[in-house]
Amino acid sequence: MEALHEVIEIILLLISIIGAVAAYFRFRGRSFGVSDMLIFVPLAVAADVVCYQLFQAMAGPHGESTAYGALGAMLGLFGLAPVAAGLNMVAAAATLLCMLRHAAVRYGVLALMLVAWAAHLFLGHRDEMLAPGGALNGDRVAGENWALESGAASRAECDRQSAAQAFREGCYAKLGR
């Protein structure tokens, strides 16, 4: 019986979100413009970011001292999630209609997609760059840190770790310490 009650509550929540968006459509007469997109897209992004931060604060195990903070984050998330869903619906509708009507918006969206893709590629390979021998192991400090952490005993170990001369010099400086 409780499961049925929860399902009904979720359905009512979704109906209220869809009803709010439909009321906005009726109010605007379905004539979305660039101003709607410029207002609702940043609001939707901000709401999504805040929801994500609240979820991160709520997720995971908590000690007794942080349990109330997690509870507050959960309550905030429950209040903000429907608002974020409504903002995302309106922002998506406004963006789609503006993309169909205006070439500048199409090019702007394409540019944002390319920037997001490049950021994804960069952040996806960040661990590889920080790994031993990766792209960020090219300076003296990285060589010193690696030699101290790994306990390198010979120059050959430093040479195998990175081809960068600055890295090797830093590694050689910390050998035997």
For residue range 74-84, list pLDDT tens digits in order: 999 999 998 99
Q: In b/e form, how buried is each residue of 111-130, taking b as 16+ CB within 10 angstroms? A: eeeeeeeeeeeeeeeeeeee
Integer Cα distance of 37 and 14 in angstroms: 23
Integer Cα distance of 155 and 157 in angstroms: 5
pLDDT for the residue numbered 123: 79
pLDDT for the residue numbered 107: 93
pLDDT for the residue numbered 128: 62
Query: Burial of 102 by CB count in 10 Å (0-12 exposed, 13-18 middle, 19+ buried)?
Result: middle
Query: What DSSP designation does 48 have?
Result: H
Asked if 164 and 139 count as a contact pair (C-beta separation under 8 A), the reply is yes
pLDDT for the residue numbered 84: 94
Q: 0.75 exceeded by the pTM?
A: no
* Mean pLDDT split into 10-residue runs, the chain, 177 residues: 87 81 71 82 95 89 81 91 89 85 89 90 70 64 83 84 83 80
pLDDT for the residue numbered 121: 84
